[in-house]
Amino acid sequence: MHRFTFALGILVCCLAVQLSAQEQILTLGLGLSKDMRTGDNMWNPGLQFKGSFFKKSTERLWYGLNVAYNKWNFDESTYEASSGYSIDSAEGSLTLIELAPSLRIPLGQGAVCLRVGAGLFFVSEADVEIRETGRSGWSTTTLTSEGGTGLAFQPGVEVSIGSISIVPLYSVYMLNSEVFNHIAVTAELKLNLK
């Protein structure tokens, strides 16, 4: 996590040095995200906090960076249905941090934009403690979801009304030789810096 903080700090400093007289946009967003893995998907939809910075290159191209924080809690009902056990209590969550250089491509008058990004994902290791009741009494189980750093691709669309944008974004990422995906829909406040 210290490497991520260090890398993010250097990236922010580099972006600050690059600021010039060109138009720039800073967006701050809040939304929902959902892990879309099939099979062992044991996470509920969670909140996504997001920030983006874009700098205008031409009328039809902006470049920048998306940074997002996702947190998903354990989905007891899905686990109960697949395991056949009755869960008394369960605790655990998964955190996903996205750091993706991105392009923003306005269509028509600019109220709709395509967003395309590719970058890094940092996934926390998650331990879920489950106390379950079965035929032979109760037991405590620990499920572990491996963490790590992965590469990602993010296509999406931005629809704006004034300074508010709705941004659905689909993310596909490779982690530990496996392909995962999730969706997120955020409402973003757009701040023009020039």
pLDDT in tens, 1-35: 445 554 555 554 444 445 455 799 999 999 999 98
What is the per-residue pLDDT for 4? 54
Q: Say how many C-beta atoms besides its own lie within 10 A of residue 123's C-beta.
A: 20
| Beta-bridge mates of residue 102 | 64, 117
| Beta-bridge mates of residue 24 | 55
Q: Bigger pLDDT: 177 or 14?
A: 177
90: helix, coil or strand?
A: strand
Residue 189 dihedral angles phi and psi, to the nearest 5°: -95, 125
Q: What is the chain's mean pLDDT, rounded?
A: 83
Rounded (10°) CA dihedral 173, 174, 176, 178: 100
Q: Say how many C-beta atoms besides its own lie within 10 A of residue 115's C-beta.
A: 23
What is the per-residue pLDDT for 155? 95
Residue 169 confidence class, pLDDT cut points 50, 70, 90: very high
In single-letter form, the type of residue at position 147 comes to G
Q: Give domain limits for the chain.
A: 28-192
Q: Which of 14, 6, 74 is nearest to 41 (CA)?
A: 74
| Global pTM value | 0.79
Instruction: Show Cβ contacts of residue 39 under 8 Å, excluding neighbours closer than 6 positions.
Output: none
Alpha carbon distance 1, 134 (integer Å): 38
In single-letter form, the type of residue at position 82 comes to S
* Residue linked to tokens 């922010």: 12
Rounded (10°) CA dihedral 58, 159, 8, 43: -150
| Beta-bridge mates of residue 6 | none
Q: Is 96 within 8 Å of 146 (Cβ atoms)?
A: no
Residue 54 confidence class, pLDDT cut points 50, 70, 90: very high
Alpha carbon distance 56, 41 (integer Å): 39
Domain over 28-192 is classified CATH 2.60.40.150: no
